[in-house]
Structures are given as C-alpha cells and as structure tokens.
C-alpha cells in the first residue's frame, strides 16, 4: 500500500459535507458583500514569500515546501494567500482599490496535529489599494458575520502593533532588556531572543512571567497616528455593537503586518481566523505603494468546530432492469430533474438500503412504475407530472 503524504488529507464523508457547506457559504456571502473571487497559483516563486512573510519567520526559514523545476526556477507551494493577491493587484489593478476573496490549499512543512496540517485550506478576504478605517471596519464586520453564522460564540480579539518602524525600535529595546535579564528567561524563551524577540512576550511558561511583566510595553513606542487610528476604529466598532477584546499580546506570525491585528477565537480557544493591516507589503515586494487589510480563516479549524450540516437527496432511481431504468433516467434528464441512482444493478434490497442511507425523500421504483415517499410511505403511480409538481 502506498501511503499518503504526511499531513495531507482526504476530505470525505461528513467532513466533505462540512467542507462544501463552508465553501458555499463563504463564496456566496462575500460575493454578495462585493468581494471578487480570485484564484491565484498554488505554485509561486520562493522570492515572493522570502520578502513578504519575512526571513525571521519560521514559515520562511523552516516551513516552506521548496522545489527547483526543470528550468531551474526556485519555487514553493504557497504557504499563505495574501502575498499572491498583492502581486496580482499590482499587476492588473494597481490604481484601484479592490476587494478580493480566495479559497484554497496552503502548504506548510510542520508536524501535523489537531487543527494543523501540512496541506490545509484557507478562506480569506482582502481589501487592497487606498485603505481607511472603513476598510478595516468592513473586513472585521463582514468576516465576523461569516464566522458567527458558522460558530456563533466566536469572539473578536484585537490589537495594534504600531508601524513597522515602531516595531523595529521596540524590538531593539526589548532585545536589550531581555539580554540584560537573560538569566531569568526560560530555556525556550532564550532560544527566541536572537531571531524572534517579540514572541517571548506570549510565552506561557510560568518561569518567564516576572521578566515579561516588567518588560517595556509596545504601547510606549507606537506613534500617535497609529494610536489615534486604532482608537477611532474601536469607537466605530463600539458604536456598531461589535464586541471585541483588546489583547495587547496579540501578534501575527507574518512580518508584513502593521498597526491593526485581530483574531477570531472560539469558546474553546481555537483561533479559527486572523488578519490585519499590511500597509508596506507592496513596497516590500517592490510592487508600488498601496496598502491592504485582510483576514484568513482556517477551513479545517472551522470544520473541527461545527456539526455536520443537514443533508438529503430528493430522488433515488431504483431498478434492476437495465432497459427500464435507463429509459427512466433519460426521462428525468429531459426534465432537468437531478436524482441519485445505484452505481450498478445490484439486488433490489441493497438499492433500498442505499436510498435510505442517502436520506432520500422520494424513491422512484422503475420495477413497479411507482413513486414512494419514504417519510410518509405514500405510494403513487409514476408520472413525470407528479415529479414536476414536487418542484
């Protein structure tokens, strides 16, 4: 037996029902909100993510699926969606402000566990171009509406991390602080000191508690424009009755974020989605000067937190005589009626069983020329008019 690749999934059975339900809701909802669906390649230049996500990030240093193609190109399977959207926007819509949605596979080379896979699906939306607080508001509002329809008790956590320049200054100060107090840091945190200083702040190791408590706060380094913009966004959210919780330790895993960051978190503390503002991403990629804000949901994380949606089939075509059942098939096709049918002409009892297992409402028995309602057990003579009346 050839085993499947580690961390990949076969989405089948009830899981596939959930997947399609989420996908359909996502695509419909954001289409109606005015977001254009955009499908970018799964295969991208390595350079795109080296630059965008940031070379200090683990995603870039350890977690990318890299390959060289036969033409010698350095490629990766995309680890996230935003960078590609920004590349597209620069190429085709540079002077516009556009709203995009995307849905598809992402790849990260990590050890799989619950809510984490090597190939996983993200559903995301972005607003790219000239951005203001209303853009931030609608990304948060629209995606909160979406996720609450699926997981009603989802909470919004929000923070500002200041500009990239602010952050650079802050990291320097923080680095010196932790360096001087190195002896008080846990082993894990000490490892983060050189490359991922900020991450020490969300250590949950009790050994770090005291040092972190006394550490300089990012708040003191955030410029006034950023602070004011954050305050006014919070006011807008407040007056729109959107509940939020400010979480000052909330940082994102990607370096391109600035100012606004937020997360959607379930009552069981699973982060099902996250996003923020990325005003410098286009510049980092040398694609021009435009801004963006966006969010990405983990589809599998949503799947793991919802129940199986209702599922039933309206018609099942039963029969053991190939001439009769094919004649019925064509008759139904002609009237554009969709129906389930057995994969082959197995014994009648098996077909009945299959129909019941598919939660079928009407069973069309071609052996007897009848239509049976499997809920009420009413049987009537088959005619196409009876079925057309069901519509």
Partner RNA sequence: GUGAUCGUAGCUCAGUUCGGUUAGAGCGCCUGGUUGUGGUCCAGGAGGUCGCGGGUUCGAAUCCCGUCGGUCACCCCA
**Interacting residues with RNA (CB under 7 A):** 1, 3-9, 57-59, 63, 80, 108, 110-117, 120, 122, 188, 192, 196, 199, 203-205, 252-254, 263, 271-274, 296-298, 300-301, 346-350, 352-354, 356-357, 365, 368, 370, 372, 377, 379
The residue among 296, 299, 275, 254 whose CA lies nearest residue 131 is 275
Which alpha helices (DSSP H) does 336-378 contain, by range?
Answer: 348-357
Distance, CA of 73 to CA of 45 (rounded, Å)? 8
For RNA, give the closer residue by CB, 78 or 301. 301
CA distances from 84 to 6, 256, 301, 379 (A): 25, 13, 23, 56
Least Å distance between CB 303 and RNA? 10
The residue among 91, 89, 103 whose CA lies nearest residue 31 is 103
Least Å distance between CB 105 and RNA? 11
For RNA, give the closer residue by CB, 55 or 333. 55
For RNA, give the closer residue by CB, 80 or 166. 80
For RNA, give the closer residue by CB, 19 or 352. 352
With a CB cutoff of 8 Å and minimum separation 6, the contacts of 59 are: 49, 53, 79, 80, 108, 253, 254
* Helices and strands counted in the chain (H then E): 14, 15
Least Å distance between CB 255 and RNA? 9
Helix (H) / strand (E) containing 107:
strand 98-107
Least Å distance between CB 275 and RNA? 8
Distance, CA of 54 to CA of 167 (rounded, Å)? 14
For RNA, give the closer residue by CB, 381 or 391. 381
Which alpha helices (DSSP H) does 161-208 contain, by range?
Answer: 164-180, 187-192
For RNA, give the closer residue by CB, 213 or 344. 344
Antiparallel, parallel or unpaired: β 119-129 and 98-107 = antiparallel
Least Å distance between CB 276 and RNA? 10
Q: Give the three-class secondary structure for 85.
A: helix
Distance, CA of 265 to CA of 246 (rounded, Å)? 13
Which alpha helices (DSSP H) does the chain contain, by range?
Answer: 13-32, 46-53, 58-61, 82-92, 133-150, 164-180, 187-192, 209-214, 224-239, 281-284, 299-303, 322-334, 348-357, 384-390
For RNA, give the closer residue by CB, 93 or 105. 105
207 DSSP 8-state letter: G
Report yes or no: 60 and 74 within 8 Å, Cβ to Cβ: no
Least Å distance between CB 290 and RNA? 21
For RNA, give the closer residue by CB, 236 or 361. 361
For RNA, give the closer residue by CB, 99 or 108. 108
Torsion sign (Cα): 258, 262, 263, 267: positive
For RNA, give the closer residue by CB, 143 or 163. 143
């Amino acid at each position: 037996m050839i085993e499947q690749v580690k961390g990949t999934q076969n989405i089948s059975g009830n899981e596939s029902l959930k997947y399609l339900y989420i996908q359909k809701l996502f695509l419909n909802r954001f289409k109606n909100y005015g977001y254009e669906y955009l499908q970018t390649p799964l295969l991208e230049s390595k350079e795109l993510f080296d630059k965008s996500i940031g070379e200090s990030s683990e995603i870039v240093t350890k977690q990318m699926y890299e390959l060289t193609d036969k033409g010698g190109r350095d490629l990766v399977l995309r680890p996230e969606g935003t960078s590609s959207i920004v590349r597209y926007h620069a190429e085709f819509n540079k002077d516009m402000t556009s709203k995009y949605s995307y849905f598809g596979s992402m790849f990260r080379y990590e050890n799989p566990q619950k809510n984490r896979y090597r190939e996983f699906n993200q559903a995301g939306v972005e607003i790219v171009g000239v951005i203001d607080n209303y853009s931030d508001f609608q990304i948060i509002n629209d995606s909160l509406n979406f996720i609450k329809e699926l997981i009603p008790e989802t909470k919004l956590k929000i923070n500002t991390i200041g500009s990239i320049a602010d952050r650079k200054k802050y990291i320097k100060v923080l680095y010196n602080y932790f360096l001087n107090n190195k002896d008080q840091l846990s082993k894990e945190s000490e490892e983060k000191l050189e490359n991922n200083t900020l991450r020490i702040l969300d250590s949950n190791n009790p050994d770090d508690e005291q040092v972190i408590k006394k550490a300089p706060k990012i708040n003191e380094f955030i410029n006034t424009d950023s602070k004011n913009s954050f305050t006014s966004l919070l006011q807008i959210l407040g007056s729109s009755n959107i509940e939020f919780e400010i979480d000052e330790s909330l940082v994102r895993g990607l370096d391109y974020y600035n100012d606004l960051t937020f997360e959607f978190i379930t009552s069981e503390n699973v982060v099902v989605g996250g996003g923020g503002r990325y005003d410098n991403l286009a510049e980092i990629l040398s694609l021009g000067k435009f801004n963006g804000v966006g969010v990405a949901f983990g589809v599998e994380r949503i799947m793991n937190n919802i129940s199986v949606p209702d599922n039933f089939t309206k018609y099942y075509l039963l029969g053991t005589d190939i001439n009769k059942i094919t004649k019925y098939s064509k008759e139904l096709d002609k009237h554009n009626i969709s129906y389930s049918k057995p994969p082959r002409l197995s014994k009648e009892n098996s077909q009945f069983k299959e129909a019941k297992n598919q939660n079928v409402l009407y069973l069309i028995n071609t052996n007897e020329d009848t239509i049976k309602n499997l809920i009420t057990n009413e049987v009537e003579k088959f005619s196409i008019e009876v079925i057309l009346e069901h519509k």
